[in-house]
Structure 1
């Protein structure tokens, strides 16, 4: 029987929670990968995927709170969660430095997510053995 080669993944999520299955499918994959002994280098949110990093999401009590589920998973497994700065600013997801820079009334970035540029995505493509995209579909 051949040995299983462990992989290091970067996940890219472009679909928003509650309007696509991308965050849910990505989280199922991430949990299975960690359970199998693989590692996740980072999770990169792009486009509508940045809504996953909003601390202002408040789904009904009978629905899964996908931002909280992701935040807990990232914290529990010490995996960086990165929201693309351009995508985040367009969609009203901001950290404290961007709040001050643009003189906005509040910040709403959910911990442990950080805001960074596409360089994080590029680094993930260079350091990971696999990059997997979870799109909204359409």
Structure 2
């Protein structure tokens, strides 16, 4: 089975952990994830600048590691990212900002990527509101 997964909740929201646990279960069960789409506050998960206290799990690091390990397509909604200050090198230069705070394995792209994922997925699941 082929899944498209959307996350709308930020890193502090329990939905971010639920989405990651679900994605892990999908892969562990031998299914495929055709796209992960990070929207609304979930774009903060793609930022390299967040630092968690040492006694807390770093959900952003866990997402990055999971995506990299399984070579998944992880799309961050560019409009939501720009509004929240999550920029890759290209967007930082385009908007004349001094630094980027995201990069591999994230791909900044439009909402059309989610629509495309829905077209080819057997199941679509979203987490957060």
Corresponding residue number in structure 1 for 2:28: 35
- Distance in 1, matches of 2:113 and 2:56, equals 31
Corresponding residue number in structure 2 for 1:9: 3
1:111 deviates by: 2.1
1:119 deviates by: 1.2
Change (3 A) 1:60 1:110: farther
TM-score by structure 1 length? 0.91
Corresponding residue number in structure 2 for 1:65: 58
1:13 and 1:45 in contact (8 A); partners too: yes
Corresponding residue number in structure 2 for 1:99: 92
Secondary structure of 1:64 counterpart: coil
TM-score by structure 2 length? 0.97
5+ residue gaps, structure 1, are 1-6
1:71 and 1:110 in contact (8 A); partners too: no
1:114 deviates by: 1.1
Larger Rg: 1
**Count of residue correspondences:** 129
2:89 and 2:103 in contact (8 A); partners too: no
Alignment of 1:1-138 (within 5 A): 7-18=1-12, 20-136=13-129
